[in-house]
Amino acid sequence: MSNKVNFYKRPWFKLGLIPIVLGLIAAGVVVKVQPELGESFGNNIYNSGRDIKSFSYAVGRASHSVVNIYVSKLNHDYTGIDKNRGEITTSASGVIMSSNGYIVTNYHVIPSLNEPNHALWAQTSDGKLHQAFIVGFDRRTDIAILKINAHNLTPIEINNKYKPAVGDIVLAIGNPNNLGLTVTHGIISATARTGSGLLTRERMNIREGLQDLIQTDAPINSGNSGGALVNTNGDLVGINTAAIESSRFGTYGIGFAVPTALVVRVMNEIIQHGRVIRGYLGISDENDNLIADNSIKGVLVRYIDPLGPAAFSNIRIGDIVVAVDGKEIVNVRALIDVISKTKPGTQLVLTVDRNGHRIDAPVTVAEDRPYVN
């Protein structure tokens, strides 16, 4: 009589087989119930390799959420959108953020308060033209929120778990030079750019507000403003806002986008409050780092707004802000981040270095109300 035991009847084999079978069943159920997850998973695997042959999945996923934005100058006999839309003066791009018609674009493309008799239009991917109304805007981030009377729109996909990284492939989708839907691609060249030197309407220095710009070499041409920067999965990375090009200095391939997290935060505040509520201190600095013997890190106070909160505190020109409420401040970006997120009316204690001595200076934060033309 043989003493061999059937291999498939061994207890350890049965125990090892159970999790495998359960895993296959679970995967089958997920794909059956939500087949798009299987497609997305497969696409991510495909795009994670070095040999990416097509971005069609990302474009198909995001393009229906990108709209053409038009600004028209109305004729004096304008009586309605169906009779005369006026002469188109500006074309740009926008991104659908909700199914009920909220759209984000750039502040610098919308008519200013000094441009009466202008109207805004948004053309969706189905070719329909909708009159758009300004919900609000934020000059410091170059973001404007529009609303159209439409429903069942396709909002852009947002993946809160995605963190932009240098080297990530990105696609810029928009309406450059009024050509219609156009896609360009490149990589993320840098994150958390301060935007110093980027100018928009009224030659606004974006450094006043934009501190976390995404830099990309994806071509961003005139008309791409307000369009979507997406990753290879079609998730929104940011809103295209500016580009630096100079044939004189040989500068090409430098574009910038406002990151998604900032866009969403600004949009929600505008919808809720009609504006973005930020704290304001009333000091400025010309350099990000210190200064002097490099033994101290902080923000050198070079200017104090005579009507700002700092003017009524113990802060002096030449002081170095090294901490706020005990939190170390190493550069301008860190200080702006803390102050802008502080609710107006809150008292903070700024620790400054003055000629080698540490001094605590209480100051009550005001609301930042930038001048808008």
User: Catalytic residue positions?
Assistant: 108, 142, 225
Ramachandran angles phi, psi of 54, nearest 5°: -155, 145
Any alpha helices (H) in 313-354, and if so which ranges? 332-340
Dist CA 244 CA 286 (whole Å): 22
Give, to the nearest 10 degrees, the angle between helix 35-47 and helix 11-33: 100
- Contacts of residue 300, defined as CB under 8 A and 6 or more positions apart, other chains included, come to 285, 286, 287, 290, 291, 318, 319, 320
CA dist., res. 77 & res. 80, Å (int):
9
Alpha helices by DSSP H, the chain: 11-33, 35-47, 56-62, 260-273, 332-340
Q: How far is CA 22 from CA 15, 17, 18, in A?
A: 12, 9, 6
Look up residue 165 and give its amino acid: A
Contact 279, 341 (CB under 8 A): yes
CB 373 within 8 A of CB 113: yes
Q: Which residue has the tokens 């061999």?
A: 4
Coil, helix or strand for 327? Answer: strand
Q: What's the CA angle centered on 330, arms 326 and 332, to 5 degrees?
A: 110
242 within 8 A of 200, measured Cβ to Cβ: yes
